[in-house]
Structure 1
């Protein structure tokens, strides 16, 4: 009888396994609450009230107001809505500030604002540590700056931007609005929302459902909806509400925040053991900066291209990525590592391992063993 290969998931920055409590709640809701939340009959009104209760719970967890929560399909929609919603609301100011390592949803939205609508976009260069400084943002601010949009944690190398400091500068020194992509930081790095005007969060990065997210938009921020339709989401996001998905987002977020606090030290311990093991392997180079979320480890072995390494590790039972999943089919070097100053060869041979509370020390040791075997087999070809 053929032995079934053990599969080990090390790609948690891409997506996460759904929390059983979240899945159970979703199935119960879906079975019972299937009518349109906009309907006037009792069942529709009940679902509408339940969704507003969930909205209030989410707002409480994030220290914002309930009417500042817009339900979306995920971070790509939230990011795109933030960029276009703010810019379309006041097209007299046609300057955007972002970085050169943002998620593709931000990068592509900004490029479209340049190419189609004539905006001027400043792409701040990150340093060797993968971050930008408040001083860089300050120097880039102009009287016509409409929006500053910067990720809190980078999805490829885990670098942590000083968002509180940046947001304070933006608030004090300009009339621009501050958008934060919190997709990779919620439950991992705390953030004071006081000076953040808009923020994006995705459920499936938090052991929640895919196709579920929110955009935080503070009351004072002018906004044009990306999706037109009815009066759902206070007229800011049209289309029939995905009520059960939206309702379960509250539990997803609460559990993610609770588990994040409980598991931080454990994940950090795993991360240190993995990094220590990688440093012992001749030819392996660590790409993530010293100040990074411990769940993300990025390394290169320059003699083996990313795709070859990824496929070889896959055959040994390990699910890892070479770069952001939204760019995983590309054979180009990692644009994040290139922006950090690494060579094309190093940026073309990177591997990202992203850990969760479900991974174990045994899995880390098995991975290091498998990596050594792959290097022995392919490293001198």
Structure 2
């Protein structure tokens, strides 16, 4: 990368090292092609009874069946949404409204995305009771504490499979076992940072969230998986769609693009994982030598995320300085407010200073060794002063 970064920007030849894939991934060519073909070739509304509508519905059903197969689910369990935020809101508010006759107690954690903690906070204002389960030093949910928190009137436990800031992978099967000891309690898993990156099974979940733009798909399409027997109060009312739980004209081209994105990422799961883990280890081994850097992501966490705390460093200023050099990283989740503590890091470390000075590096199979080396050169030089 040339040193005259600003001049390069102006000439339109700015070279960028993108290390914020947990926030957003670029759309792959296969996905774009599938979207374009579906948008061009199917002119009818899938809900219309005429021939173009029937053809569109047939293609939509095909995409839904393929998505269900990839996710080890039934096609009847798929609810298309606009993305993970809507899916999380629908899962949490939908369960709360549909099962409040059995109780109004909800359990979640401080590792969750704002689209989980937001609706939970809104429900608390409506009279629901919310508990936050403790987080162990390795970033995992404290199962003993969860067991203590569970009550007969608990109707929902919402825990991410992989959280978006520190990348801790949760023991989903063990959490599910605990949840199912209560008669009317459901387990919602935000798998947005897991699907297409690590093996994920819908078997030991009641509801599961994912989003297309995290797996080289298009922004604006997501899915909420919901076991067939579960009821949800819809967020959006107003007419026939692919399901009674979410109204709106089916976005066929977006659904087809999601089918393509899932096929692309899950079809290369081991290959992409190995490439990312290699780059993650390069970063870890270089950064752990610096006594002023604390690596928050556990060794057995997702290799796609590496979270750091930097002692005595203003990470917002550092992020801006790196951006000037063409290196894109995050301080926290893209949906978090600036100049606030990282709740996941604080939940794990109980250290306010460390949780105020975090940096998140998130990787892709497209990340090269040269990009890692360049990042390390610029980053380590920047934190010297």
TM-score range, shorter chain: over 0.9
Distance 1:320 1:96 in 2: 33
Q: 1:193 aligns with which of 199, 202, 206?
A: 202
3-state SS of paired residue (1:285): strand
Range with bigger deviation, 211-220 or 299-308: 299-308
Residue 75 (str. 1) matches residue 55 (str. 2): no
Deviations 1:2-23 (A, max 9, x none): 4444201100100101111001
Distance 2:313 2:229 in 1: 51
- In 1, are the aligned partners of 2:43 and 2:52 still within 8 Å (CA)? no
**Residue matched to 1:108:** 118
Q: 2:365 aligns with which of 340, 350, 357?
A: 357
Distance 1:267 1:275 in 2: 12
Distance 2:158 2:292 in 1: 36
Q: 1:330 aligns with which of 331, 335, 338?
A: 338
- In 2, are the aligned partners of 1:73 and 1:211 still within 8 Å (CA)? yes
Q: How far apart are residue 343 of structure 1 and its match?
A: 2.5
Q: 2:40 aligns with which of 31, 40, 53?
A: 31
Q: 2:158 aligns with which of 144, 149, 158?
A: 149
Moved >4 Å (runs of 4+):
none
Q: How far apart are residue 29 of structure 1 and its match?
A: 1.5
**Residue matched to 1:267:** 276
Q: How far apart are residue 109 of structure 1 and its match?
A: 0.5
Q: 1:253 aligns with which of 242, 245, 262?
A: 262
The unaligned stretches of length 5 or more in structure 2 are: none
Q: 2:321 aligns with which of 307, 312, 326?
A: 312
Range with bigger deviation, 231-240 or 27-36: 27-36
Q: How far apart are residue 295 of structure 1 and its match?
A: 1.2
Range with bigger deviation, 285-294 or 215-224: 285-294
Mapping of residues 1-381 of structure 1, within 5 Å? 2-3=7-8, 4-92=13-101, 93-116=103-126, 118-327=127-336, 329-376=337-384, 379=385
- In 1, are the aligned partners of 2:134 and 2:142 still within 8 Å (CA)? no
Deviations 1:7-58 (A, max 9, x none): 0110010010111100111112112223322112110111111111111111
Q: How far apart are residue 99 of structure 1 and its match?
A: 0.9
3-state SS of paired residue (2:378): helix
Distance 2:27 2:134 in 1: 35
Range with bigger deviation, 261-270 or 133-142: 133-142
Distance 2:372 2:266 in 1: 25
RMSD: 1.5
Q: How far apart are residue 135 of structure 1 and its match?
A: 2.7
Q: How far apart are residue 194 of structure 1 and its match?
A: 2.1
- In 2, are the aligned partners of 1:152 and 1:181 still within 8 Å (CA)? yes
Q: How far apart are residue 252 of structure 1 and its match?
A: 1.0
Deviations 1:288-318 (A, max 9, x none): 1222101111112222212111001111110
Q: How far apart are residue 189 of structure 1 and its match?
A: 2.5
Q: How far apart are residue 282 of structure 1 and its match?
A: 4.3
* TM-score, structure 2 as length reference: 0.94
3-state SS of paired residue (1:235): coil
- In 2, are the aligned partners of 1:155 and 1:324 still within 8 Å (CA)? yes
Distance 2:143 2:184 in 1: 16
Q: How far apart are residue 136 of structure 1 and its match?
A: 2.5
* TM-score, structure 1 as length reference: 0.95
Q: How far apart are residue 342 of structure 1 and its match?
A: 4.3
3-state SS of paired residue (2:180): helix
Distance 2:109 2:310 in 1: 27
